[in-house]
């Protein structure tokens, strides 16, 4: 039996049609899509068009995929392609559809003790942070952002775990708390641009490194397999996937802006 792990309907205060209160999907997704405000913008459009409600479980990508493996979600919207492809290969769901992208940025204090500002080589920037043993906050939560951070450390030839408890600080929380921690400690961290643009408690933090092609942040959507979990809402999940990868959903994503700046860029493609 499906365990109801839903953290609540994201669209608080939205007057849902009666049909959407009775007919809904559970969507396991990333904290970045929630904390950036994207869902608050696009989900009302989907609900009005389809009559299907959406209950969001906002977690790191690794945890969201685990929710799907247990059958506690009908669809997933996450951002770790390697982990998504493992999920499909293991028979838990799919096919994976590309949805949108933005990028990661390396954030740090304006004082910039590691002297990384302006470099477009993120691996070199991380090497400088490690050499200086400057405070670095890691989400440490198996999220897509955490996975990307670890890949970048590997490319830099650095094992940050050696600095754990000293300059390298894992907090096991989402992007918002990680940004708050970095602001309080004047530390470096990797953030998705969407959450950074929506973040207000910046204090001395600023974007120091951006533009490296390795900082691309691709999102994918996939349904949970009814063969593994017969209780999943196949038709409703597919309706959401068709919408978000279709013209209306892609336009809704492109239309979400903060202070005139677009946070996510639609790039839906057929299943890979």
Domains of the chain from N-terminus onward? 18-101+218-266 (3.40.190.10), 103-215 (3.40.190.10)
Classify strands 24-30 and 75-78 as parallel, antiparallel or unpaired: parallel
pLDDT, position 16 = 56
Q: Look at residue 86 and tell me whether its pLDDT is greater than 70.
A: yes
Residues 128-155 as b/e (b if ≥16 CB within 10 A, e otherwise) read bbbebebbbbbbbbbbbbbbbbbebbee
The model's pLDDT over 216-241, given as tens digits with 9 standing for 90+, comes to 999 999 999 999 999 999 999 999 99
The model's pLDDT over 179-219, given as tens digits with 9 standing for 90+, comes to 999 999 999 999 999 999 989 999 999 999 999 999 999 99
Going by C-beta distance under 8 Å and a sequence separation of 6 or more, which residues neighbour residue 22?
A: none
Going by C-beta distance under 8 Å and a sequence separation of 6 or more, which residues neighbour residue 89?
A: none
Retrieve residue 8's tokens: 């609540």
Compute the half-sphere exposure of residue 227: CA atoms within 13 Å on the CB side of its CA.
Answer: 6
Q: What is the DSSP string of 174-240?
A: -HHHHHHHHHHHT-BEEEEHHHHHH----TTEEEEE---GGGEEEEEEEEBPTTT-TTS-HHHHHHH
């Amino acid at each position: 039996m499906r365990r109801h792990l839903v953290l609540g309907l994201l669209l608080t205060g939205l007057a849902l049609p009666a049909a959407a209160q009775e007919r809904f999907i559970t969507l396991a997704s990333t904290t970045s899509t929630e904390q950036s405000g994207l869902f608050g913008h696009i989900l009302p459009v989907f609900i009005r068009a389809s009559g299907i409600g959406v209950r969001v479980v906002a977690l790191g990508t690794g945890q969201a995929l685990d929710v799907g493996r247990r059958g506690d979600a009908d669809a997933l919207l996450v951002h770790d392609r390697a982990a998504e492809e493992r999920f499909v290969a293991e028979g838990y769901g799919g096919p994976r559809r590309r949805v949108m992208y933005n990028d990661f940025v390396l954030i740090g204090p304006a004082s910039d003790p590691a002297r990384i500002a302006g470099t477009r080589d993120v691996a070199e920037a991380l090497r400088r942070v490690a050499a200086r043993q400057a405070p670095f906050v890691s989400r440490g939560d198996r999220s897509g952002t955490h996975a990307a951070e670890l890949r970048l450390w590997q490319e830099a030839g650095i094992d940050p775990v050696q600095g754990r408890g000293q300059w390298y600080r894992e907090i096991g929380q989402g992007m918002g708390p990680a940004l708050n921690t970095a602001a309080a400690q004047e530390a470096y961290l990797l953030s998705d641009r969407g959450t950074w643009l929506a973040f207000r408690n910046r204090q001395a933090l600023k974007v120091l490194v951006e533009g490296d092609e390795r900082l691309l942040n691709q999102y994918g959507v996939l349904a949970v397999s009814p063969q593994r979990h017969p209780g999943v809402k196949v038709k409703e999940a597919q309706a959401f996937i068709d919408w978000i990868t279709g013209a209306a959903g892609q336009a809704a994503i492109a239309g979400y802006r903060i202070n005139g700046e677009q946070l996510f860029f639609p790039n839906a493609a057929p299943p890979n």
